[in-house]
Structure 1
């Protein structure tokens, strides 16, 4: 009799552990639609053409604050460690210009395509993507010495 009671209890405990629970619904988050930045960029892509390996090259992207508010560049990130961004750090007042400089140091020969993502203090705006591209020439091998 003890065995039957113990078996019944074990069966009940096992059944209870597999009982379904109500699924928790994730909270819905309302995200405001993002619009393009109101900064006016002179260019958002730069083609370096053919460059030498291990010789850094830079390009300065220039923009104008066409909004009616002071703007800050909150974050500027490169897509890889081979590209270093430098940017206007202070407040850019309406009508003023600012810059983002991208310096690329090519370690490998071949084509490259790198991006720099610029996030501003503008509300509900999507980040601006700047692009640098080109080709790193392969190192020439010295010609064998003539005999």
Structure 2
């Protein structure tokens, strides 16, 4: 009798376990809280001459169901300064982060990371500026090179002081 009862309990437990593992995944949709989604997370500014400022605007959308508030943006170095949308971004609406990278004193390949701190459900997000800073006397291209070697449309402004 004990063996039969033990066998019945084991089979019941196995059936529940198998059912839990084969359950359909929940539908993926907007997050209950705020969510930040960037159009691009990395901007390649190509090659620029040392001494200027590279400026790029990162656009983001609140893909969640609650207002998104960007609290702060941390930078990987003091040569990069951010400006961002300070007002809450309603669900479905967009905001911007403008990154200014001062190339003075920089040389070679650069990767400037901006850490976006917000009330997004997923936590902090990052965006980055990448490219090469050449000596001021070297010729610099304002259009980043693509993998095919052709120039892509530039999305940056150069400010030379």
Question: Under TM normalisation by the shorter chain, which class is it?
Answer: 0.5 to 0.7
Task: Please tell me whether residue 46 in structure 1 is matched to residue 43 in structure 2.
Answer: yes
TM-score (norm 1): 0.67
The aligned counterpart of 1:109 is 107
- Post-superposition Cα deviations, 1:52-71, rounded to whole Å, max 9, x if no partner, equal 21110111000111111011
Q: Residues of 1 paired with 2:137 and 2:48: CA distance?
A: 13
Unaligned runs of 5+ in 1: 1-36, 142-147
Q: 2:56 is matched with which residue? A: 59
The structure that has the greater radius of gyration is 1
Distance 2:37 2:63 in 1: 6
CA RMSD in angstroms, aligned pairs only: 1.5
Structure 2 regions of 5+ residues with no counterpart?
Answer: 1-33, 139-161
Q: Which residue of 1 is the match for residue 77 of structure 2?
A: 80
Number of residue equivalences: 104
Residue in structure 2 matched with residue 95 of structure 1 by the alignment: 92
Runs of 4+ in 1 over 3 A off after TM superposition: none
Question: TM-score when scaled to structure 2?
Answer: 0.61
What CA deviation, in whole Å up to 9, does each residue of 1:116-143 have, x standing for no partner?
00011134x32101111101111328xx
